[in-house]
Each structure stands twice: as C-alpha cells, then as structure tokens.
Amino acid sequence: MSEVELHRVVSIVWVPAVGPEVSQSVSMHARVGFTGAEVRSREAREVNGQLGARARLARDCVLPAVPPPRRDDLVVEAGAVTLTVRTRGRRGHRRARRYLLAVTHGVVLPISRGFVGKRCDTVVQPDDVGPETKVAFGPSAVLTLVSNLLDVVSTERRHVGCHVASCLSVTESGASPYPPQDFSIALGGGTAADRLVFREGRWVGPAHDGAGDAALFVLFAATDRSLRPLPALHAVGRRNLVVSWRKTVSRPPRMLMLDSIIGRSSPRDTSPVWDAEFSLYDEAAGVRCGAVPIRFRGSVWRALSRVLGALGPIAIGLDRDPIVGDRYGQAPPVLTDLSLAECLEGVPS
C-alpha cells in the first residue's frame, strides 16, 4: 500500500489519590498510503516500572498542594511515547517523549520538578462569591466552550463566516502538549497541516478535506477509541484545538475563575447548562477554591462574545466530553464582562 511505516508505543501509568492504579501499554504499527492505512496492534504488555514509581512520587508531592475539595479526584499520570517513521524501508526518524502531569476535576496541573504551583488550602462557598463578581474562564473551560461552539456551527453551512469575537483564533492541530494525543502524520506519510477553523472570530467552514487524516489521527492518538465507531461522530475525528486571543487584559482585583466546565445538555443546544469547578481570585484574600461546583446556563456564543481578553499565555487544558472522552488542547485563561449573576443557575444537588 505504501512505503511509509509507522510504529508507535505508548506506555502510561495512572496513579489516583484514591483507588487502584491503571496501566496501559500499547504498540501500534501501520503502513500508510495516500488513500488509507493498514494498522495492526503488536505485543506490548509490560509497562516500565519506573513510570509507576515516578507517578507515585509525584502524587505524594502534589497532593498537599491541591485544594481539599479537589484532592479525591486527583490522578497523576506518567507516560512515555515513541514514534518511529520509516520511509522505503530505511530507518527514518524516531521521536521519544516522556511526561508527567496531574489532573483533578478537569484542571491540568503541569508538574515541573515536582512543584505544582501555589498551595491553596482555603475554600469558598458559592453564596460568598458575590453576584457582581466578574467571570473568567480557565484554559480547560475555554477549550470546552470552543469545542461546543464547533459542534453548534457545524450544524449549518450558513454559519460559515459567522462572527463570534474578533480576537478569537482557533487552530486544529495534530501537535499536542499531551504526548499520547500528539500525532501529526498525514496520509502519505507527510505532516498533517494545521487547520485554522476560526480566523479573527469567524468560522472558516467544515473540514471535509481532512477526514482521512482525522481518521488516521484517531487510530493513533486515540487508540482507546479505535475499536469503536470512532469516526462515526464528527467530534471524535476532531484533532487537538489551539485557542488564542489576540488582546490581553490585566487581572481585576476580584474575579471568579471557572476552571473547568462540563456540559449537562446536548453539545448542540444553543443555551446549554454547565457544571463548573471554580476558584475565587481576590487581591486581598488570595486564591480560594470553590467548595462545590456551580451550575450556569448560557450560549457559548454569548460567553465568548463577552470575553474582554486573555489573562495570560496559552496553557494546556482538558475538554471533558461525557461521550467522546478527554481531549487535551491549549488555550489562554480569559476574562469576560459577565457577572456571576448573569449566568448562575444554581448549585448542582
């Protein structure tokens, strides 16, 4: 079929704060042509024991720094990914990446030399936030909003060119800061081009041209979905999202950061309901973590059109889709002029 061969090995150990560990060792080999690929799994049973030890050590370091309401959900993940590409039987390039990260309630905590940011021990109840407090979205929440926006606009071709916010740009890319979802090979063995899906706030249109590359991406970068009707749902074939916001703003004295959100209604609802993990930033009192999630309602269109600007550089985030699964991406934290009172629906029971 082709003269390009890929071999990818992914080893991961997930160590939770509570509960048993899970390990995964996957080896996939493919011959890739211009019109398709033949993919085979290969034997891979043992996970390098050092990965587990690394993850356990990191968990013990990270756990005390995680706010108490979020400790039970903490999972530390250590992994190693290698990709070998051969062209016409010759040894091509080999790329190996190791990583370590922690996730809790959809918030990604990149770990650098065992340190995971400022300690945050204090909690705040939703009733104590104040209805006028301005709302911001963390990287994970921005990714979920943009992912939902793509689901909504893709229902109508007349949405091509629709305007959301001038400063918004969204790119779909094979590259990812999360190594298991980093895969940029295209059909034919070349590099899959990044695709701009929102340019200066306008939707560019559906990406039918890259459907084959998207399927190859899912086979390799989302191997856990590869025995299911993976390309059957459009969102499943979507590659990694990179969101950027041209304008920046400074942090206000007080704001409510929705760190991560998860939909409670169909992604195609125009005014969906979300459950959000939040933190309260206050110049005087520091950062306090929400004791319980809050529920808010609002169209993604409205939420993104009310963004004033980015609060910082793009960072790794996690879009937790209840059906498709976890998808990592990159987005900046953004500040809106929405007040809590404008979008709060309540506290989930």
Binding site for another protein (CB under 8 A): 19-28, 34-45, 47, 154-158, 187, 206, 208, 211-212, 215-216, 219, 224-234, 236-237, 263-266, 268-271, 273, 321-326
Contact 236, 221 (CB under 8 A): no
Q: Which is nearer to another protein, 310 or 344 (CB)?
A: 344
Distance CA 222, CA 90 (A): 27
Q: How far is the CB of 7 from another protein (least distance, A)?
A: 12
Instruction: Closer to another protein by CB, 155 or 166: give it.
Output: 155
Looking up tokens 């407090």, which residue turns up?
133
Instruction: Pick between residue 126 and residue 210 the one whose CB is nearest to another protein.
Output: 210
44/57 with CB nearer another protein: 44
Per DSSP, what are the bridge partners of residue 6?
A: 30, 85
What is the phi-psi region of residue 302: left when phi exceeds 0, alpha when psi lies from -120 to 50, beta otherwise?
alpha
Q: Please, what is the minimum distance in Å from the beta carbon of residue 80 to another protein?
A: 15
The nearest distance, CB 76 to another protein, in angstroms, is 15
Identify the helix (H) or strand (E) that includes residue 86.
Answer: strand 75-87
Cβ density class 168-206: b for 16+ within 10 Å, e for less: bbbbbbbbbbbbbbbbbbbbbbeebeebebbeebbbeee
Question: Nearer to another protein by C-beta: 1 or 96?
Answer: 1
CB of 215 to another protein, least distance (A): 5
Shortest gap between Cβ of 320 and another protein (angstroms)?
Answer: 9
Judged by DSSP in three states, 188 sits in coil
Q: Whole-angstrom Cα distance, residue 31 to residue 1? A: 7
Name the token pair of 14: 């997930």
Q: Which two tokens stand for residue 142?
A: 């921005």
Burial (CB count within 10 angstroms: exposed 0-12, middle 13-18, buried 19+), residue 63: middle
Closest distance between another protein and the C-beta of residue 242, in Å?
A: 23
Query: 38 or 121, CB closer to another protein?
Result: 38
